[in-house]
Every structure is written in C-alpha cells, then in structure tokens.
Amino acid sequence: MKRFSKLRPEPSERPSLRTLVSRTSRPQRVSSSPLQPPSKCISRADLLEKKQEWSASGRTVVFTNGCFDLFHEGHQHTLDEAAKLGDVLVVGLNSDDSVHRLKGNGRPVDDLETRVSNLSLRAVVDSVVVFEEDAPTKLIEALEPDILVKGGDYHVDEVVGREIVERAGGKVIIVSYLDGISTTNRIRPKP
C-alpha cells in the first residue's frame, strides 16, 4: 500500500489565480485561496461582451458602484434594492488607490481582493468590475446600463453618469438609505 506524504499542496503550488483589472486594463494576477468564493470580477472587455449577450436576450442591466469598504448592512440593502430593478446587477468597484484618494489615509480598510470577495459572495451581484478612476464615468459610458442606481444619500442630479444613461434611454434611480450606517461612521473614533 502506497502512503501519501502530501495530501494538500503548498500554497505556492496551488495553480488557481484570479484576474482583476489594473489601471492599464491589462489583467493583474491575484492569488486565490481555497477558502475564497469564486470571483465574479471580470474585465471591462468581458463586461462589454456580456452586455451584448444580456441585451440580445432582452435582459435589463442595472449598474451601481462604490468603495464597499468594510461591507455592512447598508451596502447589502443598496445591492438588494438595485437587484430588484432588473435582471442583471453589475457593480463597479473603486480600486485601492481610488478609495485612498477619495477617503484619505487609512482607507481602504479592506484591500481590493477582500472587497471583490465580499461582493462575489452576494447572490444578487452578477458581475464586479474594478475601476481606477475616482468616478466610474468611463465604465458607465462603455456599459450604458439600462438602470443606474445609487443609495439615498445621493440626489439624482449628483449621480455620476446620469446624463450618459438618460441620453441612452436609461433611468437613474435612488434607492432608500439606511440612516447612520456607513463605513466612515463605523471607523470614526467615538467622542
């Protein structure tokens, strides 16, 4: 009888890698652990191919975006409400550099891989696309979603990409907001 000296490969021997989008739109490899869910993160090019398939089959594409740092019930609420509005939910996710520029030192708390993983765990999310810019204008221009969604802490006139979506015949919808629930409130020191 043959004995197995190694039942589980070392982390350096595991072949599974995920591809995320870098600022140059070239794939950037990020190692994957066997405990992480399958990633729903796709490149912009793959997203545009999927958009053609979705449109050809008459599916309504909903888009929302954010930093999704320290995922909380407010994030889940926004995603749940957005998903109810269509057939496919695409989430634009700010890169680590983008979050740092927008939120300041110490942010993001969760790195990109963790934030992608958190979104990939959500049943209502179909695809995640990382963007390097501070606002997802270029991504919205490329995707032209049927519906653009933001949380209730926004007014329609403030939503980045509103003109693009409305010009293409789409809608901008503000979903309800869970008061007082935000990552900033969670990490702000208590007086």
| Contacts with 150 (C-beta within 8 Å, 6 or more apart), sequence order | 64, 78, 159, 172, 174, 175
| Residue 3 placed within a domain | no
pLDDT by residue (tens digit) across 38-80? 899 999 999 999 999 999 999 999 999 999 999 999 999 999 9
Q: Convert the pLDDT of each residue in 135-144 to its tens digit.
A: 999 999 999 9
Residue 108: is the preceding peptide bond cis (ω within 30°)? yes
Q: How many domains does the chain have?
A: 1
Question: Contact, 108 vs 99, CB < 8 A?
Answer: yes
Residue 95, token pair as written in the block: 């890169």
On whether residue 173 sits in a domain, the answer given is yes
Is 188 a domain residue?
Answer: no
CATH number at residue 61: 3.40.50.620
**Mean pLDDT for the stretch of residues 163-173:** 98
Contact 150, 64 (CB under 8 A): yes
Whether 190 maps to a domain, the answer reads: no
Residue 169 lies in a domain: yes
Q: Give the range of the structural domain holding residue 139, as residue numbers without chain letter.
A: 44-177
Domain-located, residue 4: no
